[in-house]
Structure 1
Amino acid sequence: MTGRVVGYVPGAFDLFHIGHLNILRRAAEGCDYLIAGVVTDEVLLEAKGKRPTMPLSERMELVGSIACVDEVVVDVSSDKFVMWRRLGFDVLFKGDDWRGTPKGDRLERDLGAVGVRVVYFPYTAHTSSTALQALIAGRRDG
């Protein structure tokens, strides 16, 4: 289809929560075809210093079952330019916790050089996988 806008939203999607659903829904509104990239355990360990709670296969199955997601892929790199070369998306969606940071500035510069727009959505600060993990850990000890 000519003129089709392909969107890409990468994430760990660990302990799937309302913030994940919100970014997927909003991303789908901003493109014609939405690809969700679920990062590998290794990429998550490199980026956040921890492994996910859920296995990659389960995270992919969960994200792939969301109606607004057209395709789910394994995201193999912290460098989203690597994924752009593989997928050729037109717009990348991220939480606004990246905006104005060195990694966000690099993302915008690298992808902007090939015509990809970076769109930020509000980060759901009150609900995150990290907060859920801490809550679960606290309950286990209690």
Structure 2
Amino acid sequence: MDPLVGYIPGVFDLFHVGHLNALRQARARCDLLVAGVVSDEACEAVKGFRPTVPFAERIEIVDAIGLVDATYGELSTDKLDSWREVGFHVIFKGDDWQGTAKGRALEQSMAGIGVRVHYFPYTLQTSSTARRRALGEAQVS
């Protein structure tokens, strides 16, 4: 039987326990885990800002944790492009996507190629957005 390949995309900026939790949960649900680290340019195109930690460093951090079998540099925001390169069977996302237009679009896109979308609880109290906001407030003070 072929190994179940999981894929967890993310910016992984300002690495925190929410990232760690997601990687741990994904690791437990597949045989091989690939982390798709979103490029600075792709992050800026989707979220409107560049990550604080540079792309190469974010890849190195995710690699060093020892929870993933490989990292993949996501240069495109289209998960079909990632699937063509990685060949995963399940994609992991935070449940903040579940039930949203972007979540439904991802589910539809992935269903067309036989990939399952699995949602994890989003760590509300710890997020890169919250940290970025706190850092901005600390700089003003």
TM-score normalised over the length of structure 1:
0.97
Say which SS state the counterpart of residue 35 (structure 1) adopts.
strand
Runs of 4+ in 1 over 4 A off after TM superposition: none
Give the equivalent residue in structure 2 for 1:74.
73
Matches of 2:72 and 2:78, distance apart in 1: 15
Distance 1:108 1:30 in 2: 18
CA distance in structure 1 between the partners assigned to 2:6 and 2:41 by the alignment:
24
Aligned sequence identity (%): 52
- In 2, the alpha carbon distance for the partners of 1:21 and 1:129 equals 12
In structure 2, the partner of 1:127 is: 126
Whole-angstrom CA distance in 2 between matches of 1:34 and 1:40: 19
Matched residues in 1 for 2:46 and 2:96: separation?
14
Quick check: 1:25 aligned with 2:19? no
Q: How do residues 104-119 of structure 1 correspond to structure 2 at under 5 angstroms?
A: 104-119=103-118
* Cα deviation 1:70-123 (Å, max 9, x = unaligned): 101101111111100111100000001111111111111111111100000001
1:13-58 deviation digits (Å, cap 9, x = unpaired): 0000000000000000110000001000111011111110000011
Structure 2: runs of 5+ lacking an equivalent: none
The letter of the residue matching 2:107 is E
**AA paired with 1:83?**
S
C-alpha distance in 1, partners of 2:32/2:112? 22
Give runs of aligned pairs for residues 38-117 of structure 1, distance below 5 A: 38-117=37-116
3-state secondary structure, aligned to 1:54: coil
Hey, what's the Cα distance between the residues in 1 that align with 2:83 and 2:91? Answer: 9
Which SS does the other structure have where 1:93 is aligned?
A: strand
Work out the CA distance in 2 between the residues paired with 1:127 and 1:87: 29
Structure 1 vs Structure 2 CA RMSD: 0.8
Q: Give 1:10's aligned residue.
A: 9
